[in-house]
Amino acid sequence: MATWSKFSLQNSASPLMEQLIFFHDHTLLILTMITILVGYLMITLFFNKFTNRFLLEGQTIEVIWTILPAITLIFIALPSLRLLYLLDEVDNPSITLKTIGHQWYWSYEYSDFLNVEFDSYMIPSNELELNGFRLLDVDNRTVLPMNTQIRILVTAADVLHSWTIPALGVKIDATPGRLNQTNFFINRPGMFFGQCSEICGANHSFMPIVIESIPMNHFINWIKLNKS
């Protein structure tokens, strides 16, 4: 999760988030190189006492500064498109989780198991334990197995919401009357926090998400305990 004085992205907990971080660093490197080059050219022009008499008519330089940005954009676009298709692909999921956004809480249904569903509300600050996270902890955490391909179906019961877990690289809109889907693969155990990322009313900032990633055998035991 994000902590104090953290300006970078959260540590990844899924292969897709790792790819997103790689793409971010790749693009940032290109932008840094462009900034240094343009800055150098501007400084040299400001402090140059000579005048170029061919400044208003230079076919060669115009061709160069048209081709170079086009090549640069290709180096950004190709990884971006590859990543975009990877994010949208849902291939042979082992577990399906259905998430429904409400004003202002989330409800979850484990579609592969009978009668495993619950609502997840934020724990108020006056009921929070000393080791709890203010505005982030919930009364019912979403428990999912690690090293498993998971499909999530997202919708809403009232207004637009957005189910977001930054550490997993997941952000999917919850739209009333529509079922959106995406997939993710959690590659380590832990707790991963998120919040609704679509302004949905007065208590928009009070509907957090908590994913608890555990080994598969512990997940099966949890399912057995929560079957009603």
Predicted confidence (pLDDT) per residue in 155-212, tens digit:
999 899 999 999 898 999 999 989 998 888 899 898 999 999 989 888 898 999 999 9
By DSSP bridging, strand 142-145 and strand 208-214 are parallel
Q: Which residues of the chain have pLDDT under 50?
A: none
- The boundaries of the domain holding residue 102 are 95-226
pLDDT on residue 156 = 93
Q: Which tokens sit at 193?
A: 């926090």
Residues 78 and 104 in one domain: no
Residue 31 lies in a domain: yes
> Which strands form 190-195's sheet, in the order they lie side by side?
142-145, 208-214, 190-195
pLDDT on residue 70 = 92
Question: What size, in residues, is the chain?
Answer: 228
Residues 204 and 115 in one domain: yes
pLDDT on residue 127 = 82
Residues 100 and 120 in one domain: yes
pLDDT on residue 1 = 63
pLDDT on residue 214 = 92
Asked whether 72 and 34 are in contact (CB, 8 A), the reply is yes
